[in-house]
Chain A
Amino acid sequence: MSGRETTGSPARQSDAVIYDRGYRSYEGERRGRGAIRRAIARDGIRRILGLRRKARRKILPWSLLVIGVVMAAVIIGLHFVAGSIAAGIAEGLPSYPHLFDLYSRVALLLIAVTGPELLIPDRTQGVLSVYFSRPMRVSDYLAGKLFAYLTVAGAIYVVPQILLHLGLAGLSDDGFLSYLGSNLDVLWKIPVVALGFLAVHGGLLAILSSLIDRTGFAAAAYLAILTAGNGIAGVIADADFPGSSFVALLALDDHARVVRDWVFDVSLGLYRPQEEGFEPWVSAVAIALVALIGSWFAYRRYRKQA
């Protein structure tokens, strides 16, 4: 360590020293791959939400999150007002399965705008050459990113539903705890249905993010496939040629809704796969396949990059 004296007052001259700290080797704790995956997930969450980024990166995700919470509050308020007038009116208001329709639109936008940011810039800006020089594997990197996606996008589906659940419990004539006790099944149905939406959306996003190098194009392709894809698949499925009904399975966004109706045991609409006679379990398998194919695409692409 080297130092030199400052030119302070004569009385203090010998006390004040400026040190060049130089370089000190790190002798502290070194954690394993689990901690590295958590670090990647934390960074992914920050990236989706625009935290520690420029202000313009925060606008859209936080606006959508606020919209999501406000929507939940409005619905709880409607239940409160309707319940105070007549119980029959409250029963006609949107409930858990309906909310998935509502929030899938919010999530669709959030995932379209922020999802490609999770994977594409690391690849196109060359940052992967730094990341993969660290003691981790491609699977650790992708697991961290997946956790970030599930946390934020999952929160959009689950948090308002939980708020609604607690709100309805608070408004229940049977009492808060009694309502929660008699509706325990909601607590597993909400995450399962949310996972269905997240799997089909995330799988598609992983495929597009692996193939496309521009975040804007990936977002546009994602929105186009999920919004126009159902209609196009329906038109082709209606055409009269052998095996045309299988094209209905390409209506990706409908699969999550079929599974939602299956899980909540309701019928909120007749979706393409159902119109062509496919059982709900086929939609569950289709969702799992999209998620698997997305994982495979991402793994292949990023392994090659490493």
Chain B
Amino acid sequence: MAPIVITESLTHAYNSEVVALRDFNLAIEAGVTGLVGANGAGKTTFLRILLGLVHPTSGKVTVLGDDAIADPLAVRARVGYMPENNCLPKDQTAADFVAYTAEMAGLPTADARRRASETLFLVGLEEERFRFLGDFSTGMAQRVKLAQAIVHGPELVLLDEPASGLDPAGRQQMLEIIQRLGSFGINVIFSSHLLGDIEQTCDAVVMIDGGHLIRSGPVSTVATTSVVLVDVLGDAATLANSLTAAGVEALTLTEHRLSFTVAADEDYDRVRDAAAELGIGIFRMAPISHTLEDEFLVIARKNES
């Protein structure tokens, strides 16, 4: 199956100083994909470029086989979007608003109203659909935002921080709904700065930091690497420098924590020997690549250095 999103040398700069995305070369496969990065990393800009709402400074973007720059309307007809910001009119009922957004995607009025009811049922708002949106809680509002994103039957849904502002129970429910979308055959790209959410929900992950694409691929492969975390009694930076000098790829994470990449089994011996030589005690040494959060931290630090 062809990738649902392909970018080639995609770059977007708001001005000469603020570069949101730098030279993205990416292919996102069908399924549920997480877009992860800190606030301001360029996630929202990337999603808006996919919709054709932002024209990139250079590069190419193909979404579901359509050129998002040359023919954004063709892309938007097949894509749903849930913005991060407040985007609900306070003086409309949920049913009216979702039906209206369906009509704006070209659905006839009767179909739009039927789909609005079905979609609000799907997100758990069947009882509240005739209430005014101004009276909705944050959790309910997030569900309405999700409902409008899928009401017109899109092939791909872009969700910008869908769990933002939700309490733990609401967050869990939202993540379960997103997982269900994947099981219904809808492709999802969902941005978050919370790696736990991505790890729980997604098949694949795209990591962005400071406008740089730092890693992408299936969650299982990204989260399984050969990086080892070392907690020490002493100065981690001194040990890291010593290891680097010995040919081991090492990074200082905190004052008493470093990581190194295992290229060969002998690297463990090199770490032990270097620590003994410097008089630094090692009290923990374990692979850290079991969570995306650890992986992201290591890669981001590597890019910085």
Please indicate whether A and B come from the same complex rather than being unrelated chains.
yes
**A23 at interface, CB cutoff 8 A:** yes
Most A CB atoms within 10 A — which of B80, B106, B145? B106
Whether A129 touches B87, Cβ cut-off 8 Å, given contacts A29-B111, A52-B96, A135-B76, is yes
B104 to chain A, nearest CB (A): 4
What separation, in Å, do the CA atoms of A134 and B148 have in the docked complex? 11
- A23 touching B53, Cβ below 8 Å: no
Residues of B within 8 A of A26 (CB): 107, 111, 115, 152-153
Knowing A36-B106, A135-B74, A136-B104, the reply to whether A27 touches B153 (Cβ < 8 A) is: yes
CB contact between A126 and one of B86, B109, B152 (< 8 Å): that residue: B86
Q: Chain B residues near A137: list those with CB within 8 A.
A: 73
How many residues of A are counted as interface, with CB atoms below 8 angstroms from the partner's CB atoms? Answer: 37
- Main secondary structure on chain A at its contact with chain B? loop
B contact residues around A31 at 8 Å (CB): 106-108
Question: Is B108 touching A29 in the complex (CB atoms < 8 A)?
Answer: yes
Task: List the A side residues contacting B80 at CB < 8 Å.
Answer: 133
- Residue B81 is within 8 A (CB to CB) of chain A in the complex: yes
B121 touches which of A21, A27, A36 (Cβ 8 Å): A21
Shortest A72–chain B CB gap in Å is: 31
Choose among A23, A129, A136 the residue that contacts B184 (Cβ–Cβ < 8 A): A23
Q: Does A7 belong to the interface (CB within 8 Å)?
A: no
**Shortest CB distance A140–B (Å):** 9
Contacts of B184 in A (CB 8 A): 22-23, 25
Closest B residue, CB atoms, query A37: B104
Interface residues of A in 108-138 (CB under 8 A from B): 121-122, 125-127, 129-137
**Contact in complex: A133, B51 (CB < 8 Å):** yes
Q: Does A66 contact B (CB under 8 A)?
A: no
Considering the complex, which residues of chain A in the window 248-302 have a beta carbon less than 8 Å from any beta carbon of chain B? none
Interface residue? A53 (CB, 8 A): yes
Question: Does the CB pair B106–A43 fall under 8 Å?
Answer: no
CA distance A36 to B115 in the complex (A): 17
Task: Give the distance to chain B from A138, nearest Cβ to Cβ, in Å.
Answer: 11
From B85, B86, B88, B105, give the contact of A134 (CB < 8 A). B105
B81, B88, B89, B121 interface centre (most CB from chain A within 10 Å): B89
| CB pair B74 A129 closer than 8 Å | no
Known A-B contacts A28-B108, A30-B106, A134-B104; the reply to A23 vs B122 at CB < 8 A is yes
A40 at the interface (CB under 8 A from B): yes
Q: B91 contacts A21, CB within 8 Å?
A: no
Q: Mark B129-172, 1 if CB is under 8 A from A, else 0.
A: 00010000000000001001010110000000000000000000
Contact call A53/B91, Cβ cutoff below 8 A: yes
Contact assessment for B121 and A135 in the assembled complex, using a CB-CB cutoff below 8 Å: no
The answer for the CA separation of A147 and B78 in the assembled complex, in Å, is 27
Residue of A nearest to B74 (CB): A135
Nearest-Cβ distance from residue A99 to partner chain B, whole angstroms: 33
Give which listed residue, B104, B109, B111, B153, contacts A25 with CB less than 8 A: B153
Once bound together, how far apart are the Cα atoms of A305 and B81, in whole Å? 16
Q: Is A189 an interface residue (CB 8 A)?
A: no
In the complex, the answer to whether A135 meets B77 with C-beta atoms within 8 Å is yes
In the complex, whether B21 has a CB less than 8 A from a CB of chain A is no
Q: For residue B79, which residue of chain A has the nearest CB?
A: A133
A-binding residues in B (CB < 8 A): 51, 53, 73-74, 76-77, 79-81, 83, 85-93, 96, 100-101, 103-109, 111, 115, 118-119, 121-122, 132, 145, 148, 150, 152-153, 180-181, 184-186
Other A-B contacts than A29-B107, A133-B81, A134-B76, 7 sampled, CB-CB below 8 A, are A25-B184, A57-B91, A126-B83, A133-B79, A134-B105, A135-B74, A136-B76
Q: Could you show 23 A-B contacts with beta carbons less than 8 Å apart?
A: A21-B118, A21-B121, A21-B122, A23-B118, A23-B150, A23-B180, A24-B118, A30-B77, A31-B108, A32-B106, A35-B106, A121-B90, A125-B88, A129-B81, A130-B101, A130-B148, A131-B104, A133-B80, A134-B101, A134-B104, A135-B74, A135-B105, A136-B73
Closest 4 CB pairs of A and B: A26-B153, A133-B81, A39-B103, A135-B77
